[in-house]
Structure 1
């Protein structure tokens, strides 16, 4: 996907969003006209009488409340009508080389029909990607749960050519694989440096920046704590005044004083906190930019040829091609993708969240989490016709503490019984062909898998197929905790130890290639 193609894709979804919104707006206007006519005909005398008996403050508060309630949907419609111009502006800036930051992505529905208090019919699903370009926020509509990975790579300026080269080697048979490749043959052997050597590099390179980020984070955390205390204190005072009878909402003058006091206090508090924040945060680094300023350099420290894509991840097609999960229409999100060649072996690693919503599910019930963790793929040194799926054996309590991964695992094929009793206790193996399974799972290979399973505490799920080997660890890691959201990082201390943990996790992933000896035919 090129930047032009990405723009066309987003504009198409914006056009669909506009068309459905205008249709819904027309229907709502018609229903309002009908409702107003019925009110005027049957309820107007009763409402006039009640209005004359209502307190004076209600007569001016009620119109304001009505205007506010009407203004919100109108503003939302106006933004949708202006969406095309905003998209054109955003892509123009990105095309000029401006940095694009992805804030978040969310699913929504353009048509919601309520049925009582707890039930509603959701129609016309859509997804939104919120980005920031030149300190301005833009909203990009996307196809609902179709996978935004490619769009995010393009707008954030990832090297699409290098990415496609690695992914082609991972997911497609290529007759030239194994034949001399200029990129592979000229690449220097990568030696993973010990943590002690990295510590010296990190201290010299990141020390000052990390200290500045931690100062900014700690200041914001303290401000947040103060805000929470003030909010609870305000609620406590309101309850006290209400219980003692000093504040009565039946008294118009009392309500007016309360509203004015609340506005004045809020203004003074906001003004004071903004001045305080400006003074305390002056000269500090933005702690929410930890990934951008630190992790990219950390990955290049391992190898300058590696590509780090902060918001990149594989799509649903690549996920299902592993045969690790059964065929469903999952919602796949993620980030922290690293792609490259490690001593001649193409690989990709990303943090992945895979969710699924069953057809019958309560409105307030969350989606099933089919997988949450690191998803590592490396090119298999040999080609196998029959996929081999390997699951860890879980105890009863281990299954309870797990997410819903067991529900969505692919268990197709024959259960393979192997001669290694220790391996049999740790793993379940499925394959359509006994010969292929036993050919791959040699005693030496099983010993390596046992060590891998021990390292990742029984959360390793493996799929070996015609093109690659997938190692999915169903647990979060250090990288998944650090994102652009200030709330997510507000209580995450930023120091050299944190960066060292990230480095240690990264080299552990690459060591899986060495552990399984994937670079040996």
Structure 2
């Protein structure tokens, strides 16, 4: 799939969403007319009869104001829908020019929601991605099937190159034994960080502190507004208790004060904050660009040939092709994808999040979290036909609350007892072919897996399938993330590099760069 394919699919999804939106508007318009007719009968006598003189003027304006606001919102939405195809064309012009997106969020918009008591019937879901490119905000419908590829484009990465790296991992080509090049050590990275990354990191930290000060100002402002409103309400309530005849003036005061606060927030506070954030972004020292300005260089320090995709991850289609999960409609997202070949071994890595939403669920029931952690996949140095699943022993807490990831894995029917007592205490091993499983899980391989598990924190699962090895660490941690409250200092960089070092050490620890069959033949 290339840029043109993705653009065509987005335009088709745009037209689909546009049609569904118009259908929803028509339905809500009919419902709105019925509601207005019903309310008009109730309120007509109060607004036009003898009681109208005692009804405050702002009460009479409520319905017209609501109707005008609703109509304005609908017209604005229709205009945006009619012009969205131009926005998509502009987006791909920007992407082809080398620009990249930031602050990507995802949500599902149900075009029609029908409340039926405690049950809500939600119809016609459309998946949306919201992101920004140089202060231009995009809110586009994106089919789930192309979302991983689209996020590669949004990361400013050549999608053809990424696809070639994935083909190397999935090909049947046998790994050739090459001379191993060791990972650069922690002291070597510290020296590199002090000379190359420290100046940039210092500027990003200044930006972070500015962002934190804006956040604090916003919190203080909100507290003052809410506190002031509550104080005003309390004093007026006390006055009302002693002077009930002032009820009308009290309601008017509340209405006026609330309106003034809304005007101040909309016309003064929000524009000031937007301007300050834009100044930070235009300065080139935005702390949110940490991954582009720092983390990307850390990956290149390990190996310049590695491809880093900030918003990339292993998509649902790729996971289904692995045949390690039960057949469900999983929601999959992630970030920090790294692809390439290390010491001749093709691999890919990412932070991954998987969840599952049952078809029928309670209104407030959240999706079931299936996996949250690091997903590492590399080509194995032996050809095999059996599937092997190595699952960590369940702890007491997992017996009580369950392990959603383990319960969603497709495990072979045969459980194998191996000769390594320590390994058996740490893991359960499942495979259909015991002979081939023992051939793959040699004493040296089991020792290496134990060493890797001791280094990792979390629940580390191993899979041997389709001539690949997968290490999935369900530790519920999204690594390499920074925010306005995260101090950007050299210690943070060292911590990140140590995590990367442990991840790529899997290839060295399991000696995946050595063609064992060829060595045995010699």
TM-score, length-scaled by structure 2: 0.88
TM alignment of 1:57-136, pairs within 5 A? 57-95=58-96, 97-116=97-116, 118-136=118-136
Shift of 1:480: 4.5
Match of 1:250 in 2: 248
Q: Which residue of 1 aligns with 2:292?
A: 292
Alpha-carbon distance in structure 1 between the residues aligned to 2:43 and 2:357: 44
Residues 420 and 162 from structure 1, CA distance in 2 versus in 1: closer, same or farther, beyond 3 angstroms? same
Asked if 1:442 is matched to 2:439, the reply is no
Distance 1:493 1:162, change over 3 A: same
Instruction: Specify the alignment match of 1:304 in structure 2.
Output: 304
Pairs within 5 Å for 1:25-424? 25-36=25-36, 44-45=44-45, 48-49=48-49, 52-95=53-96, 97-116=97-116, 118-143=118-143, 145-146=144-145, 148-172=147-171, 174=172, 176-178=173-175, 190-245=181-236, 250-251=248-249, 254-255=253-254, 258-259=257-258, 261-262=260-261, 266=265, 285-398=285-398, 404-424=404-424
What do the CA deviations read for 1:389-414 (whole angstroms, capped 9, x no partner)? 11100211255688632331222321
- How far off its partner does 1:426 sit? 0.8
Question: C-alpha displacement at 1:205, in angstroms?
Answer: 1.0
2:507 aligned with 1:501, yes or no? no
Query: Counterparts of 2:247 and 2:481 in 1: how far apart (Å)?
Result: 45
CA RMSD of superposed structures (Å): 2.9
Cα separation, partners in 2 of 1:39 and 1:319, compared to 1, 3 Å: same
Q: Determine if contact 2:339/2:349 at 8 Å carries over to the other structure.
A: yes
Q: SS of the residue aligned with 1:383?
A: coil
- CA shift for structure 1 position 454: 1.2
Structure 1: any 5+ residue segments left out of the alignment?
483-488
TM-aligned CA distance change 1:455 to 1:26, over 3 Å: same
8 A Cα contact 1:375 1:472, kept in partner = yes
SS in 1 for 2:248: coil
Separation in 2, partners of 1:202, 1:257:
57
Q: Deviations over 1:320-355 (max 9, x none)?
A: 333432221111101101111101100111110011
- 1:277 deviates by 7.3
Shift in Å, 1:457 = 3.3
Per mean C-alpha deviation after superposition, the further-off stretch among 231-240 and 389-398 is 231-240
Report how far residue 512 of structure 1 moved: 0.3
Which of 510, 513, 521 matches 1:516? 510
CA distance in 1, matches of 2:374, 2:174: 26
Length, aligned pairs only = 505
Partner of 1:485: none
Unmatched 5+ residue regions in structure 2?
Answer: 241-245, 517-522
